[in-house]
Amino acid sequence: MRVLITGITGFAGSHLADYILKNHPEAEIFGFKRWRSRDENIIHILDKVEFHDADIKDFTAVNRFIGEIKPEKIFHLAAQSFVPASWKSPMETLDTNIAGQVNLFEAVRQHGLADKTVIQIACSSEEYGLVHEDEVPIKETNPLRPLSPYAVSKITQDFLGYQYHESYGIKAIRTRTFNHTGPRRGEVFVISTFSKQIALIENDLIDPVMKVGNLDAQRDFTDVRDVVRAYWIATEKCTPGEVYNIASGTAHTIQSVLDKLLAMSNKEIKVVQDPERMRPSDVQILLGDASKFSKQTGWKPEISFDQTLEDTLNYWRKKIAAII
Ligand code: A2R
Ligand code: GDD
């Protein structure tokens, strides 16, 4: 079985490759990256995956490699994934995420693979945006009220999945994943930035001051290793054209996440709000109902949140120790 992962150099993509290598040795894995991509997350699998340099915005490259690989499964993870960056450069996010999706679908369609290749699309809980208190836990039927250009880009990816399925029979499976975290998570995301700052403080590399943004927001976190398992199962058991939430079903305030991380360190750390980290409109609560996905696939998360936090903090401790 030929399996293509776009965004394989990223957080979820690299964990997905690890999951497939371990659990589905029958799969031949192909990865799209950019010639300038960092190889930090894939250094351990360079000889186990066939990599191709394909910027997802470049139809010529995407079309050529889809034609050569003829994948039976595609996990489409490549994207501009950081919400605040989408306010700073909205067009970059919209272009990468939307044009990338269209390029992939058009290549699959033009190579006659529409009814053959199963494509998992990494949509996002961020699409729900403004959620009222009586709407949690959020079901797939909840209205979408996006609060960032990133959310708009993900809604578009999501609806392109629906539309290409209806128009051409493309076997798109739309997964709306709530927050996920763990080792290798980009340093700008909340649990990574908190963990990195703790590791820097523990090594006396910065003053014992933790910079934070909005601590009142609530997020539903799942370990990335449970999420990539869900992506694989989605391509085996879900219905093309349909949309599925992937979530743990528990929300944590960011304040409580910070408190847990601080309790894992012996250092006295002062917390200060950094205005740069505040968003024009933050999503206040994301708490997902993944019962549609769980009923159809039997999936449930297995790794506890405390374990995920500990693993993430230790990942950053190791990373900082390696550079001093
Ligand atoms: O930055 P790079 O070159 O290492 O590659 C990133 C890739 N990517 C692209 N690949 C090809 N052409 C592009 N124009 C392009 N722009 C970005 O997407 C990297 O491999 C991946 C994003 O990884 P992370 O930022 O670590 O995101 P994460 O958490 O793995 O998210 C995966 C998916 C995304 O669609 C999110 O929007 C969704 O899950 O939550
Ligand atoms: N990044 C960051 N840095 N966020 C902070 C900070 C900080 O210092 N302090 C508080 N926060 C709050 C943010 O305001 C937000 O409410 C929450 O922590 C989570 O922020 P992020 O980790 O940046 O993630 P996100 O929720 O914006 O988006 C992530 O989850 C989406 C799924 O809902 C990303 O992984 C997206 O790609 C993904 O689609």
The pLDDT score that the predictor gives to residue 316 is: 98
Tokens of 136: 């949690």
Q: What is the pLDDT of residue 250?
A: 98
Buried b (16+ CB within 10 A) or exposed e, 23-52: eeeebbbbbbbeeebeeebbeebeeebebb
Ligand 1 centroid from CA 4, angstroms: 14
Which atom of ligand 1 lies closest to the CA of 38? 4
Predicted structure pTM score: 0.98
pLDDT at 20: 98
* Domain ranges (residues) in the chain: 2-180+221-246, 186-219+250-286+303-321
The pLDDT of residue 208 is 98
Atom of ligand 2 nearest to the CA of 188: 1
- Looking at residue 27, its pLDDT comes to 98
Q: What is the pLDDT, as a whole number, of residue 100?
A: 98
Distance 78 CA to ligand 1 centre (A): 4
* CATH number, span 186-219+250-286+303-321: 3.90.25.10
| Cα distance between residue 113 and residue 128, in whole Å | 31
* DSSP bridge pairs for 243: 174
Query: Residue 243: what pLDDT?
Result: 98
Chain mean position to CA 4 = 16
Report pLDDT for 318.
Answer: 98
Nearest CA owner, ligand 1 atom 33? 77
Give all strands of the β-sheet with 171-177 in edge-to-edge order: 50-53, 28-33, 2-6, 73-76, 118-124, 171-177, 243-246
The CA-based diameter of the chain, rounded to the nearest angstrom, is: 61
Ligand nearest to the CA of 279: 2
Write a three-state SS string for the chain. Answer: CEEEEECCCCHHHHHHHHHHHHHCCCCEEEEEECCCCCCCCCHHHCCCCEEEECCCCCHHHHHHHHHHHCCCEEEECCCCCCCCHHHHCHHHHHHHHHHHHHHHHHHHHHCCCCCCCEEEEEEEHHHHECCCHHHCCECCCCCCECCCHHHHHHHHHHHHHHHHHHHHCCEEEEEEECCEECCCCCCCCHHHHHHHHHHHHHCCCCCCEEEECCCCCEECCEEHHHHHHHHHHHHHHCCCCCEEEECCCCCEEHHHHHHHHHHCCCCCCEEEECHHHCCCCCCCECCECCHHHHHHHCCCCCCCHHHHHHHHHHHHHHHHHHHC
- Among 123, 128, 179, 274, the mutation site with the greatest number of ligand 2 atoms within 8 A of its Cβ is 179
Ligand nearest to the CA of 129: 2
- pLDDT given for residue 303 in this prediction: 98
Q: Is domain 2-180+221-246 annotated with CATH 3.40.50.300? A: no
Q: Is the CB of 315 under 6 A from ligand 1?
A: no
96 C-alpha to ligand 1 centroid (Å): 9
Give every residue of the chain whose pLDDT is below 50, as ranges. Answer: none
Residue with CA nearest ligand 2 atom 20: 190
Q: What pLDDT, on a 0 to 100 scale, did the predictor assign at position 254?
A: 98
Q: What is the pLDDT of residue 213?
A: 98
189 CA to centre of ligand 2 in angstroms: 6
pLDDT of res. 315: 98
What residues flank ligand 2, with Cβ below 6 Å?
81, 83, 124-126, 178-179, 188-190, 193, 212-215, 217, 219, 254, 277, 279, 282, 286
